Amino acid sequence: RDRYQRRVHGGEDGVTAGAMSDLQQATRIAHQMVRVFGLSPLGPVDFSTLERHGSIADPTSAALDAEVIKRLKAAKDDATQTLIKHRKQWERLADALLEEETINRDAVLKIISQA
């Protein structure tokens, strides 16, 4: 999120420690969704169990990796579109946080509800 927010806002493509952590966590979750929870077009199978027993074919493993990448790209696109759509709100929120450092829930709701 941090990486794409900066890209949308300022065009930078650098990676911060926070953005790297977000990417690692997103990758771990997508990997679990596809390989452990069976949430892929390859079916409701816990592929991690098959991998531990060495009984997964290379083409299947490649297809699973492709599905993980597909999900990550879709999530990136969704995040980018959300940031673009709500740019004014998050910029106002960022400005308020730079001024105050901390703000309460009511202040956040007021800021993001402004037209």
- Give me the mean pLDDT over the 35-62 stretch: 93
- Give me the mean pLDDT over the 1-29 stretch: 72
98 φ/ψ angles, rounded to the nearest 5 degrees: -65, -35
Residue position matching structure tokens 């794409």: 4
What's this model's pTM, rounded to 2 decimal places? 0.73
Q: Taking 90 as the threshold, does the pLDDT of residue 114 lie above it? A: no
3-state secondary structure of 58: helix
Token couple for 87: 């740019």
Alpha carbon 111 to chain centroid, angstroms = 24
| pLDDT, tens only, 78-98 | 999 999 999 999 999 999 999
